[in-house]
Amino acid sequence: MRKFILLLAAVAILGGGAFWLLTIPQTVPASALSVRTANLENGRTMFWIGGCASCHAVPKQEDPTRLGGGLALKSPYGTFYAPNISPDPNDGIGGWNEVQFVTAMAKGTSPRGQHYFPAFPYPSYQRMSLDDLRDLFAFLKTLPPVQGRVRDHDVPFPFNVRRLVGGWKLLFFDGRTFAPEPGRSAEWNRGAYLVNGPGHCAECHSPRNIFGGIVEAKRFAGGPAYGEEGWIPNMTQKGLGDWSIKDIAYLLQSGAKPDGDAVGSSMGEVIENTSKLSDADRMAMAVYIKSLPQIDNPPPAKK
């Protein structure tokens, strides 16, 4: 019995050590960022397609560039509060350097070396190019600083243990940037990049498993609207049916559906963002979305 207990202890120690090593928060090395001049216009595009204002703008005020945070994001694992990402040096990200920002977006790691909770959609943002991330950071620095630190997340144990997020990343975070698909047009690949990267459309339009990871077999097939009533619609051919590419592009510009109805709820905020993109980018997104193969709706969540 004593030998058995010692064996269990050894296994536990080795297993814990292996988990600790495998879940070390990853960073982007400074050497990966060569000297360059930021493109603020591109940074502005990344700001709008990335939906930064939808989550980080101070609630109940009209200026979408005042990124003081505070929005409550409800989930099955607790309530997360969007942080202040304004250029304020004390309460926002004004004290961050470029490497810290790129690391947060591409690796989900904070400047303090901790895992961010994946309520921050870095599994999609990891697809973004380094240049686009750097341009976004430069654009954010031009926005007004907002004072005020956001309250802590309201997340119960064990979901509040950040080191466990490292295990989640092992399962659902591959660390790869977007790779253009050979044989597809430049327009299609641009749309695929915007939808899957900065646009992070799958984060809402896909069901999740019990661990909170996207069910890849049902990617873009819709899912429950956490924190809201209703269901996020299927955006594959199963849901769009006979919508044309122009119909989809017009929706991204105006919020109007082909039947004359308009999108509602949080999708209205998405349209506020995509309406500020170029016609070419909205058309590219529409070309890609229209190409998504038909996927049946996921089963309703059990109550």
Closest CA to 250 of 238, 239, 261: 261
Confidence (pLDDT) at 172: 94
Query: Does residue 150 sit in the same domain as residue 223?
Result: no
- The predicted-structure confidence for 81-105, as pLDDT tens digits, reads as follows 999 999 999 999 999 999 999 999 9
Does residue 303 surpass a pLDDT of 60?
no
pLDDT band for 275, please (50, 70, 90 cuts): very high
Confidence (pLDDT) at 16: 65
Confidence (pLDDT) at 92: 96
Q: Among 16-20, 59-63, 262-266, 276-280, where is mean pLDDT lowest?
A: 16-20
Strand bridging mode 223-224 / 231-232: antiparallel
- The predicted-structure confidence for 216-227, as pLDDT tens digits, reads as follows 999 999 988 876
Query: Does residue 47 sit in the same domain as residue 148?
Result: yes
Confidence (pLDDT) at 265: 76
Question: To the nearest whole percent, how much of the chain has pLDDT over 70?
Answer: 91
- 214 forms beta bridges with 208
CA distance 240 to 257: 10
180 touches 129 (CB < 8 A): no
Does residue 6 surpass a pLDDT of 70?
no
- The predicted-structure confidence for 111-131, as pLDDT tens digits, reads as follows 999 999 999 999 999 999 999
Estimate the crossing angle of helix 162-172 against helix 2-22, to 10 degrees: 70
Query: Does residue 70 sit in the same domain as residue 125?
Result: yes
Confidence (pLDDT) at 231: 84
Q: Final residue of a domain: which of 172, 203, 237?
A: 172
- DSSP codes joined into one string, 133-194: HHHHHHHHTTSPP---PPPPPB--TTTT-HHHHHHHHHHH---PPP-PPTTS-HHHHHHHHH
Mean pLDDT of the chain: 91
- Give me the residue label for tokens 């989900």: 108
Q: At 125, which helix (H) or strand (E)?
A: helix 122-125
Higher pLDDT pick, 147 / 297: 147
Identify the domain containing residue 191 by its residue range. 186-291
pLDDT band for 228, please (50, 70, 90 cuts): low
Does residue 72 surpass a pLDDT of 60?
yes
Confidence (pLDDT) at 119: 94
Confidence (pLDDT) at 263: 87
108 touches 115 (CB < 8 A): yes
In a domain, 5, yes or no: no
pLDDT band for 192, please (50, 70, 90 cuts): very high
Does residue 301 surpass a pLDDT of 70?
no
Query: Does residue 42 sit in the same domain as residue 163?
Result: yes
pLDDT band for 19, please (50, 70, 90 cuts): low
Query: Does residue 134 sit in the same domain as residue 203?
Result: no
**What pTM does this model have?**
0.91
Confidence (pLDDT) at 297: 87
In a domain, 26, yes or no: no
Confidence (pLDDT) at 12: 67
Query: Does residue 237 sit in the same domain as residue 120?
Result: no
- As for how many domains the chain has, the answer is 2
In a domain, 287, yes or no: yes
